Structure 1
Amino acid sequence: MTTMIARIIHTSIARDWREVYAFMADHEKMPLWASGLSSGLTRDGDEWIAPGPLGTARVRFAPDNEFGVIDHLVTLDNGLEVHNALRVVPNGDGAEVMFTLLRQPNMSDEQFAADAAWVEKDLATLKSILESDSDKRNDGKKHGQQR
């Protein structure tokens, strides 16, 4: 078996890594930032069902853990299994979110670049959501308000 070409796509988020992990590990919130899941996820036992442009996928997530691991196995209708390594780690007072994109067999350079751009966009959305929410909480504390 040969290894696939890999690209690690990451972003820094100015928010405690545990809060970032808790948000990301809430699978029902994933459609808010993971655009490939914009149709939502439906729980089916230990798996989640994700309708998408390539058909319906079944998603199995790593169990909740204290290490920031949100890996998930996506099984497409055609039986192809795609392992997605997704991690949140401490980065100073904030977090580093890392996604390992693996180039799938028969994927062109253009398709791989498009997938990478898609992941970058999704991580930028995640960053925006979490830093915006953090700003709101901090503004409330500055003004003596509780949120």
Structure 2
Amino acid sequence: MSTMSAKIVHISIDRDWREVYDYASRPENMPSWASGLASGLTQDGEDWIAEGTLGSARVRFAPHNDFGVIDHWVTLESGLRVYNALRVVANGSGCEIMFTVLRLPGMTEEQFAADAAHVLRDLRTLKELMER
């Protein structure tokens, strides 16, 4: 497989990175800000199960860590496995949250742009929640 096109979508949040990481890294909190997981996540061993328009997806998160890494692997019913890099990084007294959007094989430029826009909406929702 060749290298896929990538776009890093990020937003600044005026709150300590550790607090943002603590909230955003908990799967049970994700439906409040990650619209693709709005139906909620159900724990199944080390994985979490999400029900969505494409059916069930199995999600496995990186272990809790001191680096702000919330990377996760999503496996769709079709067997397609997608790696999602999500990071919270200190920025002064606040932080940056960054999601690397990859252009999957067969994805049009329009679909890629729509995917990045969707991620930005979710990050804006997280920002609103964390800055309250």
TM-score band, normalised by shorter chain: over 0.9
How far the C-alpha of 1:103 sits from its partner, in A, is: 0.4
CA offsets, 1:101-144, max 9 Å, x none?
00000001111111011000000000000001xxxxxxxxxxxx
CA RMSD of aligned residues (A): 0.5
- Output one character per residue of 1:27-60: Cα deviation in whole Å (capped at 9) or x when no partner: 1000000000000000000000000111110000
1:63-105, CA deviations, whole angstroms, 9 ceiling, x for partnerless residues?
0000000000000000000000000010000010000000000
Greater fraction of residues in strand: 2
More contact order relative to length (CA 8 Å, sep ≥ 6) = 2
**Alpha-carbon separation, structure 1, partners of 2:72 and 2:83:** 6
What's the TM-score, normalizing by structure 1? 0.89
**Within-5 A mapping of 1:135-146:** none
Report the AA paired with residue 6 of structure 2: A
Q: Counterpart of 2:20?
A: 20
- Paired with 1:50 and 1:113, the residues of 2 have a C-alpha distance of 24
- 1:96 counterpart residue number: 96
Report the Cα distance in structure 1 between the residues aligned to 2:95 and 2:120, rounded to whole angstroms. 16
The runs of 5 or more residues in structure 1 that have no matched partner are 133-147
Q: Match of 1:68, SS?
A: coil
Question: How many residues in Structure 1 have an aligned counterpart in Structure 2?
Answer: 132
Counterparts in 2 of 1:111-130, with a 5 A limit?
Answer: 111-130=111-130
Question: What corresponds to 1:86 in structure 2?
Answer: 86
Q: Residue type of the partner of 2:124?
A: A
TM-superposed deviation, 1:26:
1.1
Secondary structure of the 1:106 match is coil
CA distance in 1, matches of 2:19, 2:115: 27
Letter in 2 for 1:67: F
Answering whether residue 5 of structure 2 is matched by residue 5 of structure 1, we say: yes
Q: State the identity %.
A: 66
Structure that is richer in helix per residue: 1
Taking structure 2 as the reference length, the TM-score comes to: 0.99
Structure 2 partner of 1:106: 106
Query: Which structure is larger by alpha-carbon Rg, 1 or 2?
Result: 1
